[in-house]
Amino acid sequence: MPYTQGVKTGLWKFYLLNGVLRATGRFSHGQMTGLWKRYHKNGELYDGGRYVDGKKTGTWKYYDARGMLIRTKEY
């Protein structure tokens, strides 16, 4: 996991204890930025959307454990 002067930066990937990918996204100056995706325990996409200055922005999409879109939300 990359740090610059003790602050999170660049692409990060988070994993569950069983090795399944949990989330991916970027940090800039310690804040979430750009496209982020989170995943269910079975590896299917849970949600995805963009961050600007550490805050959710735009359209986020949410999925059930089978990967089916169940809702969208505007931030």
**pLDDT tens digits for range 40-57:** 999 999 999 999 999 999
CA–CA dist 51, 58 (Å, integer): 8
Q: Where are the domains of the chain?
A: 3-74
Question: What's the pTM?
Answer: 0.90
Instruction: For residue 20, give the amino acid letter.
Output: V
pLDDT of 1 above 80: no
How many CB atoms within 10 Å of residue 65? 12
CATH of domain 3-74: 3.90.930.1
